[in-house]
Amino acid sequence: MLIATMSASQDESGAATDVDQALARASAGGDMAAFEALYRRHAGRVHGVILRLVGHQHSRAEDLTQEAFVRAWQALPGFRFESAVGTWLHRLAANTALMELRSRRGGPAIDSGEDALEGIGSGDTAGHRTALSMDLQQAVDSLPPRARAVLVLYDIEGWTHEEIATALDMAIGSSKAQLHRARRLLRARLGDSA
């Protein structure tokens, strides 16, 4: 029976990739049902990375997740399938969140220094926690937006400084400096107990 040949986990992984590719190709051709299937397969990862980048501001993350999938729909006809569909979507999602972050650069001093830590870019429960009671996720959420973005991308998502610098339109040295600062702030928020 054919089913006996399809049990290995690598087959499952390959099958998932193939399903993604088939769905992406159908979506590129205008098949909205296929795109919905793609959305349902990847909404968790896409929303997850956006949520981390915006410090668990849920409403904002949901808006950006919508925006990311609309951008994916627009871009899919030009997708060259040189990377996995999931990887491409994940990167597109992060860039969608970062684009918004970049657009806020000229706004109020949202990231001007460590003094800006309190209450800036923090999650929905900001103000109801103390440094000592913070868990790791909350501590990350409480970082200033750009420092948080660099830390999330480097330490959680595994990006390189080159990739981060490109995405955030900054020098590689600035990415490294932001990471160093973010880690120092994070350890301070955790009471240096980590």
Partner 1 sequence: MNDPRHDHDLPAALRMQLRTLRTPEPPARELWPDIAARLPSQPRAAAEPAPRRRPRLLPALSAAAVLALALGLGWQLRPSSPEPAQAPPLAARPAPARAAPLVVVADAMTREYNGALREVPAPRPTAPGYRSLLELDASAAAVRDALAQDPDAVFLLQRLQHIHARRLALTRQLASA
Touching partner 1, residues 88-117 (CB under 8 A): none
Q: Is 194 in the site for partner 1 (CB under 8 A)?
A: yes
Told to check if 188 binds partner 1 by CB under 8 A, we report no
Based on the shown chain and the rule CB under 8 A, indicate whether residue 133 belongs to the binding site for partner 1.
no
Residues 142-171 that bind partner 1 (CB under 8 A): 151, 154-161
- CB atoms near residue 174 (< 10 Å): 16
- Select the residue interacting with partner 1 from 105, 114, 125, 180 (CB under 8 A): 180
Q: Which of 53, 54, 57, 65 binds partner 1 (CB under 8 A)?
A: 65
Our CB check for partner 1 shows the closer of 78 and 107 to be 78
**Other Cβ atoms closer than 10 A to 140:** 25
Q: Is 132 in the site for partner 1 (CB under 8 A)?
A: no
Class of residue 128 by CB neighbours under 10 A (exposed 0-12, middle 13-18, buried 19+)? exposed
Residue ranges in 70-89 that form contacts with partner 1 under rule CB under 8 A: 70, 73-82
Query: Which of 125, 131, 169, 187: binder of partner 1 (CB under 8 A)?
Result: 187
* Number of shown-chain residues binding partner 1 (CB under 8 A): 71
For the bound state, the minimum distance from the C-beta of residue 106 to partner 1, rounded and expressed in Å, comes to 27
Per the document, the length of the chain is 194
Q: Is 3 in the site for partner 1 (CB under 8 A)?
A: yes
Select from 6, 109, 131, 171 the one that contacts partner 1 (CB under 8 A): 6
Comparison of 36 and 118: residue with beta carbon closer to partner 1: 36
Residues 26-55 that bind partner 1 (CB under 8 A): 26, 28, 31-41, 43-45, 47-48, 51-52
Q: Is the dihedral of CA 50, 54, 55, 59 positive or negative?
A: negative
Measured CA distances, 153 to 34, 90, 102, 159, 178 (Å) = 29, 11, 15, 5, 12
The C-alpha atoms of residue 109 and residue 89 are separated, in whole angstroms, by 31
